[in-house]
Amino acid sequence: MNFLEERIQKDGIVKEGNVLKVDSFLNHQMDIDLFKQMGEEWKRRFADAPINKILTIEASGIGIACVVSEYFHAPVVFAKKSKSINIEGDMYITEVESFTHKCKNQVIVSKKFLNPEDHVLIIDDFLANGCALQGLISIVQQSGATLEGIGIAIEKGFQSGGRVIRNLGYHLESLAIVDAMDAQTGKITFREQ
């Protein structure tokens, strides 16, 4: 087991409805030493990519992306969730359905911060059905930037997002892939990587 899998095993809580709670170290209270290890690992896995920008989505991706940016020396842009209809032409806009909150959000990034010269690494905490990620990929495509790769902390391998994204040919690196989890026993099974 790698460092993140060990931590999930120790502190992760399996909830009903296919939800893994990791709020004691990843997305509410945040363990920055753990984030640094994650940054180091993604830097190793994306060593050859000319990444000059990190893209994530609010809220829980931001903390991770900020620590990771230290390893790539690249600024972080986060997509903002916006309820209002934005008709101004200065934003890339996409729509994302939230897995945890079961609602649709319009997600926006200012055109000032992403352009065709950029080489982007997308970072997020979870990959489940892939809606959040598809939204971020759409924003990169609208901007004309190059998507160099995607770093996910925890992929839920029993949901479809990871398979779809890999089939599309993107370089996806998930640090922990959960293949099964049981809310009754609390047992979590990781994919061998």
Binding site for ligand 5GP (CB under 6 A): 19-22, 27, 60, 99-100, 124-133, 156, 161
The pairing of strands 53-57 and 19-21 is: unpaired
For residue 59, whether the previous peptide bond is cis, meaning omega lies within 30 degrees of 0, is: yes
CB of 157 to ligand 5GP, least distance (A): 12
Give the other-Cβ count within 10 Å of 116's Cβ. Answer: 8
Nearer to ligand 5GP, 86 or 98 (CB): 98
Nearer to ligand 5GP, 106 or 129 (CB): 129
Nearer to ligand 5GP, 49 or 164 (CB): 164
Number of alpha helices (DSSP H) and beta strands (DSSP E) in the chain: 5, 10
Nearer to ligand 5GP, 83 or 112 (CB): 83
Q: Tokens 């959040």 sit at which residue? A: 132
Sheet bearing 104-110, strands edge to edge: 91-97, 104-110, 76-82, 53-57, 119-127, 146-156, 172-181, 188-190
CB of 65 to ligand 5GP, least distance (A): 12
DSSP string for 124-154 = EEEESSSHHHHHHHHHHHHHT-EEEEEEEEE
CB of 119 to ligand 5GP, least distance (A): 23
Nearer to ligand 5GP, 19 or 183 (CB): 19
CB of 99 to ligand 5GP, least distance (A): 4
Distance CA 157, CA 51 (A): 26
DSSP helix/strand/coil, 95: strand
